[in-house]
Amino acid sequence: MKTRICFMVSLIALLSFPLLPARAATALLHCEAEMRVRKNVTENTPISLHANAHYFFEPAGKGYVDIVGTIQTREKTAHLDRMIYFTYARAARDGFYTVKFTHSRPKPLDNTPQAMLAYFYEIGGKRPATRWTSPN
């Protein structure tokens, strides 16, 4: 009798398992990029970014970039090592997404002024009011 009851309880547990609500699979998508970007602040003042970035996309429409590299001008070189957080959504066209960088968190070795970084990343709702200018 005891064996029969244990068998029945086990059978009910096994049969009810597929009826439990399935949890959504959460997969973190990862993308790597090496960037070399050069811009002209003025005619004689170029600024360049050389960095490696790891992009992580969470299924909930959020993600972050782990970026390490340098931003340099003729007068100054700044070490870039920070996390930049973003949200993303599907755009009107198939296969395209819009990305909005929401905020960033510098790591201890990062010494990049926000105004220098603003030439390459627009973080937050609006552009910074002050721009980085060359000491010349």
Decide: pTM greater than 0.75: no
What are the residue ranges spanned by the domains of the chain?
Answer: 29-117
Q: Which of 80, 75, 70, 33 is nearest to 50 (CA)?
A: 70
Instruction: Give, for all 136 residues of the chain, the pLDDT tens digit.
Output: 554 454 444 545 444 444 444 554 556 778 888 999 998 887 788 999 999 999 998 888 899 999 999 999 988 999 999 999 999 888 887 778 888 999 999 999 999 998 888 888 888 865 444 444 444 4
Which two three-digit tokens encode residue 117?
């970084």
How does DSSP assign 86-127, residue by residue? EEEEE-SSTT-EEEEEEEEEE-TT----HHHHTTT--BSSS-
Position 84, amino acid: I
The Cβ of residue 7 has, within 10 Å, a number of other Cβ atoms equal to: 10
